[in-house]
Amino acid sequence: MKVLVIFGEGSVRIDLGQAHPFILNKLRDLFGGSVYGHYKTPKGKQHFRWIFTGPRALGFLLTIYSIMSPKRKEQINKVVKLYKEH
């Protein structure tokens, strides 16, 4: 699973990708956002993406915070700090 969290222009964007859409569709149903796909990777494998933006994306990060690794928690802390500064 590939996760990209971007903060820019006062907004949070989550871009989460994986080979099968099942969990991405569940996340969309629970939190919002959109699932895009059936992309092909350079190696020809299928790939789907869940893209989620705005204040609810920040809420999602805070919801999963307690189960994240120390590295991911540090990344979430940086995003929250930037969000509060804007």
3-state secondary structure of 44: coil
The one-letter code for the residue type at 49 is R
Number of domains in the chain: 1
3-state secondary structure of 20: coil
33 phi/psi in degrees, rounded to 5: 90, -165
Write the CATH number for 28.
Answer: 3.10.28.10
| Alpha-carbon span 72 to 60, nearest angstrom | 13
pLDDT tens, residue by residue, 8-63: 777 889 999 999 999 999 999 999 999 998 888 888 889 999 999 988 899 999 99
78 is in which domain, residue-wise? 2-85
pLDDT tens, residue by residue, 30-44: 999 999 988 888 888
pTM, 2 dp: 0.79
